[in-house]
Structures are given as C-alpha cells and as structure tokens.
Amino acid sequence: MTSANTWGLLLDVDGPVASPESRTVRPEIIENLVRLAVAGWPVAFNTGRSVDFIVDQVMNPMIAAGLPADVRVLAVCEKGGVWFTFTGDGPDQPQVDPGHRLPGEFAADVRALVAERFADRMFFDETKLAMLSVEQRVDVANADYMAVQEDFELAVLGLAARRGLGIRRLGQVLPAVDGSVPYRVDPTIISTDIEAVEAGKDLGVRRVLELLEQAGEPAPAVWRTIGDSRTDYAMADELHARGFDVAHVDVRPADGVPAVPYPVLTAAELVHDDAGAVFIARWAAVASGEAADDAGLGPLGAAPEALETAETGRHSNS
C-alpha cells in the first residue's frame, strides 16, 4: 500500500543533518524536520549513529521544538542493526538484531587498542549496541585523524585474525577457519565502523518500510533520500528497485556522482549540513504548499541557482 499525498524522507545523519565538525544539528534543520513530521511526511533517519546520538542530537531537540505526542518519527541506527521510533513523548524501546552484534571479547580488544595507541586522535564509541565504532576526537584536526586511520584499521584486522573472526577491509579479506567473512571494516571521513556485512543503508530502507507496514501506515509513492557518501546511494537504489519514485540528494558530490537510474540533486557549491539545510527547508515548503517541488522556485530554501539536478545515466543492475 502506498500514499500519493506525501513524500517519504530517508536521511543519513552525519553530513546532511549533523555537522561532521561539531557533530551537532543546527536549530533551523530541527525546526523544519518537525514541520515535515507534523505535515504527515514520514521522516526516517537511516544512520550508522547510535540510539544515544539520535536521542541527544535529534530527538530531544525535535521535542523541544514542538514535536507533538501523536507524531511518530522513525530511526534506524547502526546501519540497520538497531531501530526505534519516537514521538513528542519520547522514544520506544530500541530493537537490536542479534546477528549484528560483534563479539564482546573482540570489542574489548578494540577498546584496549584505542586506549593504548590511538587515544590522542580518536575515541571508542561506548554507545553502540551492535557494531563497533571509533571516531575522530572533536579537538583533533581531520588531517591528523586520517593520518593514523589506516594504521588503526590494519591493527583491527590483526586483532580479528587472532580471534579467528572472518573480516574484510576494502580489498583485504581475512576469512575465518570455516571460510566465512561475517564482518567488515568500513571507514568514513571521521570514523571507522566494524560491522556485520549485512549492515548497510539498503537494510535501513527495509527496516523503515517494515516499521510503516507494522503500524498500518501506507508507504509514500515518492521518496527523497539524502547522504554524503557513495554508500548512501544504496537507499535510493533499494527504493528504485522496489518501484518507488525516488531522487537522491548528494551533499558531497565532489566524491563523484555515480551513474544511477534516478535523479541526483545537489546544492551547487554547498556541502554537508549547509546543503542539507537547503533541501530540508525546501521539503518543508513543499509539505506546507509553499513550493511545488525541491528543484523549482519557492519562497524558502536557497536561491534557485543553488539547486540543480545532476545528469545521470543507468547502472547495470538497475
């Protein structure tokens, strides 16, 4: 069942919503997210972040900004391994996929590695319930963090090998004794995630659609996805494959826009949450009837010349 009257929003958090520098969300983004949710648009965060991060940086500010008790927002965390919903009354109980939990002994190994060798550049994220994450300290320059990121990841591979865990990192594959490779190391510009290979933004889409179905809410026929990395395109890929009308917003297109069978929207020279703020404001204007779409003229958002559509082709598995 689908709804033709609203658009669904699937939002990566780091980059398009939260600043990758401060790791906080600007008030105008919060206010427009509340406007969208109140207008009846399904708002779903699809992120590698933890429940605690979403509660602190997104949910609590949305409640403070007036999110009503009868309006529900969806949050899929840790790339599909954990999920919950919240209203103006607060969150429900997070659900954790046990198949995504990293072994506790290995988690202890990684925690100790950070403390012993890398604590001056990064910290171990104690809030994760399924995956393991290590993140750049906010008082450290990104170049200094990235200078040691590969050394850290190679050390993680060594720890996994000693535990007999099958793991991969980029082109490196270290199978377990039985030949399986259930885990992967996934770097970002400010962190490294160690996760189940099933984790991903496409899994997050499936979780969101399941949550809507379980609640008896029709899935919108039209969707917008937004992210700052190539892996975030998996959201739009999944929706397109399921027959939805979808466009993807890329807030860091300098990394390269892939050939995909749906529109890719960018905000010209704006990146990260500067670009995210433009589109979220535009969507709020569409939801309130003040704008016709997210690439046309309207009273809110950036100047018209700041919104453009990238020409795209098709990939082989479209």
- The pLDDT of 216-239, averaged and rounded, is 96
Structure confidence by residue, pLDDT tens digits, 134-190: 999 999 999 999 999 999 999 999 999 999 999 999 999 999 999 999 999 999 899
| Structure token digits, residue 286 | 């569409």
What pLDDT does residue 7 have?
96
What's the mean per-residue pLDDT of the chain? 91
Mean pLDDT of all residues in 31-40:
97
pLDDT of amino acid 246: 96
State the Cα–Cα distance between residues 156 and 263, nearest whole angstrom.
Answer: 38
Give residue-wise pLDDT tens across range 77-105.
999 999 999 999 999 999 999 999 999 99
Query: 299 pLDDT band (50/70/90 cuts)?
Result: very low
What would the mean pLDDT of 199-223 be, rounded to a whole number?
97
What pLDDT score does 308 carry?
A: 40
Single-letter residue type at 251? V
Specify the pLDDT at position 268.
81
Cα–Cα distance, 307 to 294 (Å, whole number)? 8
Mean pLDDT of 259-267: 93
In this prediction, residues 20-33 reach a mean pLDDT of 96
**214, pLDDT greater than 70:** yes
The 10s digit of each residue's pLDDT in 280-297 is: 999 999 999 888 888 642
Q: Tell me which residue has tokens 């917003």.
A: 249
Q: What is the average pLDDT across 230-256?
A: 95
Q: What pLDDT is recorded for position 69?
A: 98
Contacts of 300 (CB under 8 A, 6+ apart): 281, 282, 284, 285, 290, 291
Rounded (5°) CA angle 76-66-296: 75
Q: Which tens digit of pLDDT belongs to each residue from 109-132?
A: 999 999 999 999 999 999 999 999
The percentage of the chain sitting over the pLDDT mark of 70, rounded to a whole number, equals 91
CA 126, CA 107: separation in Å to the nearest integer?
A: 10
pLDDT at position 295 = 61
Residue 315: what pLDDT? 27
Sign of the four-CA dihedral 20, 24, 28, 32:
positive
Mean pLDDT, residues 26-43 taken together: 97
The structure tokens listed for 114 are 């950070």
Handedness of CA 239, 245, 250, 256 (dihedral sign): positive
For the chain, how big is the Rg over CA atoms in Å?
Answer: 19
